[in-house]
Structure 1
């Protein structure tokens, strides 16, 4: 149907781009799939209603006609194509004329702030409509950032009209894109890093190789533009009641920087991704429990003292669990996985879930057994996207695996 074709052009942003910057495709001819002679014979009334609807809509477009059925049911002139004289006419046909007027005003407002913003309006016309005045405010933020490189304050301290922490939180990507246009259009990737300068490794979420990117979008935004950001925290528990920490405290949270400077008399550190597992681990001599945070182990990356003790990693039994393990070994090659073996997986079939999006990365730091299990999970040998979350492992099994000698060896 003609309306479907025009609606698709609107939904893709093509009509609005033509409105802002005509490409010369108008007048535009949109061919119509007209009834055949056989259709005229079998359902003349439906064909006639179809044609009548198009003839009645003439005004936003003109119609080209073609003769059909001369040798069978008699000559009939049917619409063959609709011709729109301008993008405005086609926009009006889909009932978006008011939106088009609003878009022009918003695009003009952006261009008045800086001509470079027009490029963004052409790339994101529908988003510009959706944002409305917020797009102009985001543009003002990007202009402020250009004039205030590395401000060295918290986002909360910005004193721009209409700008507050929540606004930045909701519009980080737009601000980054507009800021990129001010830098002569250097594009940004989905996680906000400039495509032109991000290597394949650094683009990986939470890569541990070299300097890992900040863990959260807010932290990445702050780092990108020179804002201060609350430091990453590290939480750990002394499983040995006699281990000296801070008075009688055994469960502490410190900054990642402070964690990296610790010098504790520990023989072993157990890293677990699940909070309840972290809290429930029993007393063990000379042992520390560390609450992990998935990808982006910056607190563990910088803690050189961990190289002088055993480090056990207990993650989810799925492809991303093994990927995190692989990345952790990039800085601590001696890490041993626990409860991430095939025996544990098969003993808990009743607790299997489905991994939403599996990792397909090639992992070069796994043991032979770990690598085989990673490949088996990734190729659905046990079922579609099987995963076993660590908190679903029976506690008696977990304790035996951690403390009873069933740990896999590297």
Structure 2
């Protein structure tokens, strides 16, 4: 027997799972039997075993107040020992509001907020497929906004639709309540609504350039004596460095801890943005020593760097290093399941091993510093020998 409480749980779960889909469909989803729940009435034997429980169950369903689009189907069962009994067999909820009213709780409150806000968006920006797609993709955001924040989003989008802002920075937008921090936090939904309304994916607002951290480890290479700086890629492109090799690390602290190193420059890889570093003209002209976390994402980043640079050697990203530091392993929270055809045989074996061990990771910073420096020195000498061989062969 499905109790009223159990049926409510089912309705809440369905409403929670379907919020985005139903919210983006609006009234178009409110046709037919939107949710039907079989109530599993008792058999004759179950009635005889606990007649009081069965009667109370039927009374609960009979006493349940239902909206206009909600019904309970009843059937008459003829039992030899008990006689004819009328029992509830199915709950039918025909509209979204019926599902929400019956479900109650936070999912019902979330639906109410989403329904109201979706209606406002359709009224202001049109009941179109692009707008409904935005509602579906940003369901959680629309639900979590308080009234003031949602109202500001709507007014900001409406203003941007009416006024060209090409070349302006967020700080220059003359929209009440909108500043740089607000715009950064809300840019995703604002951009989506703007694109859905105008069919243009470009707001025209100037993006803040991401900065790349650089440490010049050989003062002889420094320009104007500056050895530690961060600059946009557009400015790094015009530099005329010519190091023997570039050290690209994913851990900023590792870069900052590096000692002076003849003819070397260290660059922060910034995770999956590492290919931007690999395409810098002066980096392209030098071999790269890459050191990242020994996990699946570290190898994915290494693969991405090799896709943009012709000469990348990894350091401390092999099976031996992994096994030598077993006590320092942690679990990788979101493993990358991709395949990376630029990895060497040694790197492929390390990747397979860490996956076989249960998606473990050895974070770069956990490797003892002196061990790391020794491996870096060995890899550096190998690059130097290779470069000298190339010079002599030429």
Question: Is TM more than 0.5 here?
Answer: yes
1:94 and 2:103 are equivalent in the alignment: yes
Map of 2:392 onto structure 1: none
Superposed counterparts of 1:214-253, under 5 Å: 224-247=202-225, 249-253=226-230
Report deviation, 1:402.
Answer: 0.7
Deviation by residue 1:337-391 (Cα, 9 ceiling, x = unmatched): 11111221111111111111222222122222222322333xx22x110111111
Structure having the higher helix fraction is: 2
Report deviation, 1:36.
Answer: 1.6
The one of 354, 363, 378 aligned to 2:340: 363
The one of 124, 129, 132 aligned to 1:119: 132
Report deviation, 1:315.
Answer: 0.8
Q: State the SS of the aligned residue for 1:225.
A: coil
**How far apart, in 1, do the equivalents of 2:380 and 2:89 lie?**
75
**How far apart, in 2, do the equivalents of 1:360 and 1:65 lie?**
51
Deviation by residue 1:110-161 (Cα, 9 ceiling, x = unmatched): 3332323663587477764543644443233334444445621112221223
Superposed counterparts of 1:73-92, under 5 Å: 73-84=82-93, 87-92=96-101
Q: State the SS of the aligned residue for 2:273.
A: coil
Q: Assess, with a 3 A threshold, how the Cα gap between structure 1 residues 105 and 267 changes in structure 2: closer, same or farther.
A: closer
TM-score norm. by structure 1 comes to 0.77
Q: Assess, with a 3 A threshold, how the Cα gap between structure 1 residues 251 and 127 changes in structure 2: closer, same or farther.
A: closer
1:51 and 2:58 are equivalent in the alignment: yes
Q: State the SS of the aligned residue for 2:79.
A: coil
Superposed counterparts of 1:11-410, under 5 Å: 11=16, 12-13=18-19, 20-21=27-28, 23-25=30-32, 30-60=37-67, 61-68=70-77, 70-84=79-93, 87-95=96-104, 105-116=116-127, 119=132, 123=136, 128-131=142-145, 133=147, 134-148=149-163, 151-183=166-198, 224-247=202-225, 249-297=226-274, 299-377=276-354, 380-381=355-356, 383-404=357-378
Q: Assess, with a 3 A threshold, how the Cα gap between structure 1 residues 354 and 408 changes in structure 2: closer, same or farther.
A: farther
Q: Which structure 2 segments of 5+ residues have no match?
A: 1-5, 387-394
**How far apart, in 2, do the equivalents of 1:292 and 1:396 lie?**
22
TM-score norm. by structure 2 comes to 0.80
2:191 and 2:203 in contact (8 A); partners too: no
Q: Which structure 1 segments of 5+ residues have no match?
A: 187-193, 195-223
Q: How many pairs were matched up?
A: 369
